[in-house]
Chains A and B, each alone.
Chain A
Amino acid sequence: MQYIIEAFNYSSLFFVVFFSVFLMVTLIENRKKINGETALISHKDVSATESDYPTVTIMVPVFNEQNTVDKTIQSLLNLNYPKDKLKIMIVDDGSKDNTWQIVKKYDNHPQILLHQKENGGKYTALNYGIANCSTEMIGCLDADSEVDADALLHIIPYFDDSNVGAVTPSLKIQNPDNVLGLMQSAEYNMGVFTRKILGFLDAQYVTPGPFSIFRKAVFAKVGNYRHAHNTEDLEMALRLQENHFKIVNAHKAIVYTVGPRTLYRLYKQRVRWTGGFIQNAIDYKRMILNPKYGNLGMLILPIAMYSIIITICLLGYALIKTIYNVVDTYNKIKVVGWDFNLNAFSLDWWMYNIKAPTIIGLVTLALVIFSIWYGKKLTGVKDKRMIDIVYFLTLYSIISPLWLITSIYNTIRNKDASWR
């Protein structure tokens, strides 16, 4: 039994390291492209090239968002983009609070379109928006997010490639000021790095709700949004990939989103995301290990599925080991009391059990830290904090099994996680 556990641990570790190395190798192979993309979109003189810009509609689906919707609209109005080519469509999905009263003040704004419908869920609000828009590009911005003024300007040039169906932005946590916020901030920075690399591999499997922009014609080809286990942005990305549309990432297009501020809200959000991923991946299982879907089918989807199992198993194993050590220490204390020198700090290398998994773990840790740092660097936002990385590395491994286990349990029970 010991050998089976060891074999599983080592093979899992091999997959984890292989995937991290794979991302790094892809980064090295594409580093010139990243520099080229940054140079290509550095111009900001919109008025000089106004006619080159396509028309765009940004939908803001709202449901009881009275506290944040105004800021979201303001950030969209501040977008550095030809005013006559940009429409902002607010779709109130039957809010019960003052959201509608707040957005009503923009009734006569030339750029803003207000729509109200009966509550049907986010995906119905998005489909309502798609049905009522006639621009070349269409995107969405959740009402808990704000965009950087140049975000759209950074996104649009990627549509010059006619195979591109959607462009994703870089997501960052807005003003992280508590431990959970900082932890998520590091996680999102790692997400910036990963999304960029997955973009190069044609393997992005999420077009995030905040500010992913689509070519409108895509919806005519692949169909509208679906309920998709409350993760319609994930399902839409998989559907685009299934139809071989390119999803690329505009790393300089920055969107700030409000991360959950309490552990319970974070847990709920992640149960929805992870559960949504597992259930959508099951719905699209035909893509897994199918070379027709390139890197997404052969590596990213299998690794993403496997990583959930690995995380639970490895953390479960670590938990058992920790419990064993705690019991062992408790036993020692019970037998000989506190007054013993057995675990005293020592500089003698003999005292440290440096084994192969420790060394491999340290290499993986270095790769994770690098990806977080590189994610920060990619967006160009100056942030010299390192404490977020510390919180991420220490807390995330402890709390993530909570939602991973719940998500698997929900999948087995065939239950969708709720939005809130």
Chain B
Amino acid sequence: MNEKPIRKPIDWKTYIISFFITALIFASAFGVNNLLSSKKEADIKSVQDQIALDILSSETQFDLLKEVTCKNVDDSILSQEINSLATKLSLMESSNQNSSDPELIYLKKYYSLLQIKDYILMQRLSGQCDFKPISILYFYGNKDVCPKCVDMGYVLTKLRESYPEVRIYSFDTNLQLSALNTLRTINKISETQLPAVIIGDKTVTGFRTYEDLKSLIPQLKVLDKQKADLEKANKLKATSSISGTSSKSVSK
């Protein structure tokens, strides 16, 4: 055995290579992250553009027809993308820890404006034609000013899932947007009253359960009845087709 054993010297090359590989893994991960985020943003932007186009088209169509007839007006004239966009934006908001992300704020502002325009168009339609879509205006704030807004959001999401026919327009009161402020002022919604829901001409402040909310919208009962009738009819149809098939096979 040697008197002075020799220790293997540090191989700094291995450290440097490992550092660069690790940095590369991190850079790639952040690259993929950014790519996915910008894809999501681009996706939202394209949906928003689609909605803007839908609204412009509907307004033009309405302007052309309003003097003549209301018979071509039904809920297909309103953009169908509003609800799916709401879901995507809320997902993006919940996955983004930085709520002051300028890109997110821009998308939310754009979305709020589109909602207001859609709401105005819908109001004009329902005022002049015999067309009464169910709509809800929902004003919310961040957790500090409105701790119950999260729960109210769950209730409204469930309502949207259960009744896609209901047009829910949700507005973040923290957004600095003059059109939104005007909408708030018109409806007399102050920060202390959040969450606030406007259904038709009724303004409801504070948290409401799903059942409470349903009871405030009598049209939902009609929708429920229509759905039940449709289901019954479908069942009958299915039963008669089965018995028809079996009687055919018996006669064979």
Contacts and interface: CB of A to CB of B under 8 A. Distances in A.
Interface of A: 2, 14, 17-18, 21-22, 25-26, 29, 162-163, 165, 201-202, 215, 217-218, 243-246, 291, 293-295, 298-299, 331-332, 335-337, 340-342, 350-351, 353-357, 359-360, 363
Contact of B32 (A165, A291, A331, A354): A354
Nearest to B37: A355
Q: Give 7 nearest A-B pairs by CB, closest first.
A: A359-B29, A22-B18, A356-B33, A202-B8, A353-B95, A356-B29, A163-B5
Contact of A18 (B2, B6, B22): B22
Given A21-B22, A363-B29, A340 B158 contact: yes
A199 to B, nearest CB: 10
Chain B contact residues (Cβ within 8 angstroms of A): what range?
35 or more
Contact of B5 (A22, A29, A165): A165
Nearest to A339: B158
Interface of B: 1-2, 4-11, 14-15, 17-19, 21-22, 25-26, 28-30, 32-33, 36, 40, 43, 88, 91, 95, 97, 150-151, 154-155, 157-158, 161, 209-210
Contacts of B19: 18
B10 A294 contact: yes
Contacts of B14: 22, 25-26, 29
Nearest to A357: B29
Given A14-B22, A360-B26, A350 B158 contact: no
Contacts of B91: 350-351, 353
A342 B209 CA distance: 17
A351 B151 CA distance: 21
Q: Is the interface of A mostly helix, strand, loop or mixed?
A: helix
Given A202-B8, A360-B29, 13 more contacts: A17-B26, A21-B21, A162-B1, A244-B6, A246-B8, A293-B7, A295-B8, A336-B154, A341-B161, A350-B40, A350-B43, A360-B26, A363-B25
Given A22-B18, A356-B32, A359-B32, A294 B8 contact: yes
A350 B88 contact: yes
Contact of B157 (A217, A244, A342): A342
B193 to A, nearest CB: 20
Nearest to B14: A25
Nearest to A245: B5
Given A215-B1, A331-B151, A350-B88, A294 B22 contact: no
B29 A336 contact: no
B5 A243 contact: yes
Given A215-B1, A359-B33, A332 B154 contact: yes
Nearest to A293: B7
A40 to B, nearest CB: 19
A360 B8 contact: no
A295 B11 CA distance: 8
A329 B76 CA distance: 35
B33 A354 contact: yes
Given A217-B1, A331-B151, A356-B32, A202 B43 contact: no
B21 A25 contact: yes
A336 B211 CA distance: 9
Contacts of B2: 162-163
Contact of A201 (B8, B21, B155): B8
B18 A25 contact: yes
A363 B209 CA distance: 44
A162 B17 CA distance: 31
